[in-house]
């Protein structure tokens, strides 16, 4: 780009400044409005302000769908903050280039005035070519700013679209569950939505359990990739695998990317990684290098970080530094434990915990929590009687689930409900309980129906004894 006469210098620099400011403000406005809009939609969806579904559907959303919206919103918020930093940095570069150009133009103008008024004809210090180079630099910086702004906005829009898809998916349940009662079409739609939710819960459970291939295949088959947090867990998998391979660089990079939020939750993961690097250097007998490592990383230890041990991170650092005086095979505690390879497994667990805290994920999957809550609500002491009969319709009485529910509390029932063993209908004033001579109680309706088909005789389904229906007596429940 060539640069013309001096009388346009100030107009050009002013125009560059105006374009820079306008581009920065528009980018910031778009990013901020995108994040705020999706947050508002998420909040209205969770509180029921955006839909007409029944209160039961809203309670269902609050109890089970927190991570469905929270994770993509946290990702959107992270991308917004990262974009803001990148744009601010590029704006600063543009501003510096514009300032250099402005100073050169002013110097050029002052030198021309001196030459015109003076007697001598000395050549100016700032040439036209130099100003042209500065102007080209400003244009280049503006191009970089525009490119990075577009890239940042594209990333934010991608994250915002994920939020939008999940919001629409959750609102779909509120709409379907709030339709006409008894509608076959509506009930089928709700059942289909719940099947998709079960698949989402299974995908999340598989990811937490380490069955990544099964989770991905299920998500692809059910077409719910955008409704799951597969990408988040795949990143976690890479970090965990690197830690198991005795490498820290990938986890340290993750700590750097999430530095501000890790500081807010007072995570000590980065310091634990630096300590482990120190331990590995001592284990390899590279003690001088370990000392340099300690001077570089331990002097800047953040006092706000709290170690999991009672003594805090300062006590941990003192113990770690004490390793310099011991060989790797020392039997002396606590130094023997510091050399133990199991510390890498502890780092994996610490990373996993901090990662869940970062996105406000619970330590247990929603599937696990829902399954335990359901089993506990159905569990009764009768399900574990050794000499009692198992109810084939009771999930807790089944062989597999019976073991899973063994350590769960029984259902809290303030008022007993009697149910007929034959029909499953409640025993009340319309279906009075009758006791047979062998002591088993059944509903009057079931016994009368059986007697009508067998000439007044009834067969106890438990003992196979046969009685006359007239032998059954009424039972009064106090």
Within-domain flag for 438: yes
| 146/81 same-domain check | yes
pLDDT tens digits, one per residue of 229-250: 999 999 999 999 999 999 999 9
Question: What pLDDT score does 274 carry?
Answer: 93
| 154/85 same-domain check | yes
Within-domain flag for 390: yes
Domains held by the chain: number:
4
Within-domain flag for 219: no
pLDDT beneath 50: ranges in the chain: 1-10, 12-13, 16-17, 19-21, 23-24, 26-53, 119, 121, 181, 303-304, 306-310
| 353/378 same-domain check | no
| 255/378 same-domain check | no
Question: What pLDDT score does 12 carry?
Answer: 47
| 234/270 same-domain check | yes
Within-domain flag for 100: yes
pLDDT tens digits, one per residue of 8-20: 444 544 554 454 4
Within-domain flag for 122: no
| 370/421 same-domain check | no
Question: What pLDDT score does 356 carry?
Answer: 93
| 265/336 same-domain check | yes
| 93/135 same-domain check | yes
DSSP collapsed to 3 states, the chain: CCCCCHHHHHHHHHHHHHHHHHHHHHHHHHHHHHHHHHHHHHHHHHHCCCCCCCHHHHHHHHHHCHHHHHHHHHHHHHHHHHHHHHHHHHHHHHHHHHHHHHHHHHHHHHHHHHHHHCCCCCCCCCCHHHHHHHHHHHHHHHHHHHHHHHHHHHHHHHHHHHHHHHHHHHHHHHHHHCCCCCCHHHHHHHHHHHHHHHHHHHHHHHHHHCCHHHHHHHHHHHCCHHHCCHHHHHHHHHHHHHHHCCCCHHHHHHHHHCHHHHHHCCCCHHHHHHHHHHHHHHHCCCHHHHHHHHHHHCCCCCCCCCCCCCCHHHHHHHHHHHHHHCCCCCCCCCHHHHCCCHHHHHHHHHHHHHHHHHCCCCCCCHHHHHHHHHHHHHCCHHHHCCCCCCCCCCCCCCHHHHHHCCCCCCCCCCCCCCECCCCCCECECCECEEECCCCCEEEHHHHHHHHHHCCCEEECCCCCCEEEHHHCEECCCC
Residue 158 domain boundaries: 65-105+131-185
Within-domain flag for 150: yes
pTM over 0.95: no
Within-domain flag for 288: yes
| 388/437 same-domain check | no
Within-domain flag for 345: yes
For residue 421, give the CATH number of its domain. Answer: 3.30.40.10
Domain boundary among 359, 393, 428: 359
């Amino acid at each position: 780009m060539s640069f013309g006469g001096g009388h346009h210098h100030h107009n050009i620099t002013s125009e560059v400044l105006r374009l820079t400011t306008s581009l920065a403000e528009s980018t910031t406005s778009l990013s901020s409005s995108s994040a705020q809009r999706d947050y508002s939609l998420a909040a209205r969806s969770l509180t029921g302000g955006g839909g007409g579904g029944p209160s039961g559907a809203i309670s269902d959303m609050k109890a089970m769908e927190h991570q469905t919206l929270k994770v993509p919103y946290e990702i959107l918020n992270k991308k917004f903050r990262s974009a803001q930093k990148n744009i601010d940095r590029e704006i600063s570069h543009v501003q510096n280039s514009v300032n250099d150009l402005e100073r050169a133009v002013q110097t050029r103008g002052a030198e021309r005035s001196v030459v015109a008024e003076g007697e001598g004809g000395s050549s100016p210090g700032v040439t036209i070519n130099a100003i042209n180079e500065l102007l080209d630099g400003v244009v280049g910086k503006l191009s970089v700013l525009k490119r990075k702004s577009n890239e940042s906005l594209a990333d934010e829009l991608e994250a915002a679209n994920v939020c939008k898809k999940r919001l629409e998916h959750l609102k779909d349940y509120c709409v379907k569950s709030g339709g006409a009662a008894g509608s076959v079409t509506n009930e089928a739609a709700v059942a289909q939505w719940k099947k998709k939710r079960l698949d989402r819960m299974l995908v999340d459970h598989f990811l937490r359990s380490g069955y990544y291939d099964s989770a991905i295949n299920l998500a692809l088959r059910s077409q719910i990739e955008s409704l799951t947090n597969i990408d988040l867990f795949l990143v976690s998998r890479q970090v965990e695998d690197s830690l198991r391979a005795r490498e820290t660089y990938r986890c340290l990079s993750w700590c750097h990317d999430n530095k501000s939020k890790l500081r807010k939750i007072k995570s000590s993961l980065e310091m634990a990684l630096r300590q482990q690097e120190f331990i590995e250097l001592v284990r390899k007998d590279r003690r001088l290098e370990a000392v340099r490592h300690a001077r570089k990383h331990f002097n800047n230890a953040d006092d706000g970080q709290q170690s999991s041990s009672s003594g805090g991170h300062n006590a941990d650092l003192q113990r770690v530094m004490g390793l310099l005086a011991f060989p790797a095979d020392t039997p002396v505690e606590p130094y023997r434990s510091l050399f133990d390879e199991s510390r890498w497994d502890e780092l994996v667990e610490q990373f996993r915990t901090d990662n869940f805290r970062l996105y406000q994920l619970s330590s247990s999957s929603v599937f696990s929590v829902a399954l335990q809550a359901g089993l506990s609500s159905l569990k009764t002491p009768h399900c574990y009687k050794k000499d009692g009969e198992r109810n084939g319709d009771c999930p807790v009485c089944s062989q597999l689930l019976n073991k899973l529910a063994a350590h769960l509390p029984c259902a809290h029932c303030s008022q007993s409900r009697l149910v007929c063993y034959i029909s499953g209908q409640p025993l009340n004033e319309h279906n009075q309980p009758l006791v047979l001579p062998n002591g088993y109680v059944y509903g009057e309706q079931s016994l009368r129906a059986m007697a009508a088909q067998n000439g007044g005789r009834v067969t106890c389904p438990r003992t196979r004894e046969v009685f006359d229906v007239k032998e059954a007596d009424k039972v009064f429940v106090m």
